[in-house]
A = this chain, B = another copy of it.
Amino acid sequence: MVRTKTRDEIIAVAAELFSRAGFKGTSLHDIAAGVGCSKATLLYHFDSKEAILAALIAPAAAELAELDTRLAVLGGAARQEAAIDGFVDLVLRYSREAGIIYYGSQDVLCSPPFAEVKPLIDNLCAAFAAGATDPADQIAAEVVLAGISSVAIGKPDDAVLRSALVAVAKRALLTPPMKD
């Protein structure tokens, strides 16, 4: 993976456009115009439009895999808390990439490197549910995971947002103490 100024700028512009208009809704012409180069230059640096997508997703996917590894050695409540904190942190630092992954339609998401992301999200959802057997608790985990992703998308990292996301996750997921 060679690093050049133009290559990095292509990734930056593509990330911005993909997150606003979607992968299918963004053409090579749009990206080239944003960078200030020709379409041919894009395809000199990347094999294809999909290769641009793969390259810009890669760092976020790698960190998600890291989080997955960290969670694997934990269990129960500690795993749940680490999953919440870790995911909120990740989605705020990669809010554009999260949007691209999250809003990507099925056919785009079935292509690499998304294929490897899917099981990591499933693991994360299981960690959010903290081994609950009640279907309602598993659905709650899905709601929180999806809701956090959706709200964080496109927003800059921010302390208030970060703590609010963690707070609502814990309020929604921590089993309520019987009655009140």
Chain A residues with CB under 8 Å of chain B are: 20-22, 24-25, 103, 105-108, 135-136, 139-140, 142-151, 160-161, 163-165, 167-169, 171-172, 176-177, 180
Contacts and interface: CB of A to CB of B under 8 A. Distances in A.
Nearest to A99: B105
B105 A171 contact: no
Interface of chain A, main secondary structure: helix
A149 to B, nearest CB: 8
16 contacts: A21-B105, A24-B24, A25-B105, A103-B103, A136-B167, A139-B164, A140-B164, A140-B167, A142-B150, A143-B147, A143-B151, A143-B169, A146-B146, A146-B150, A146-B151, A171-B172
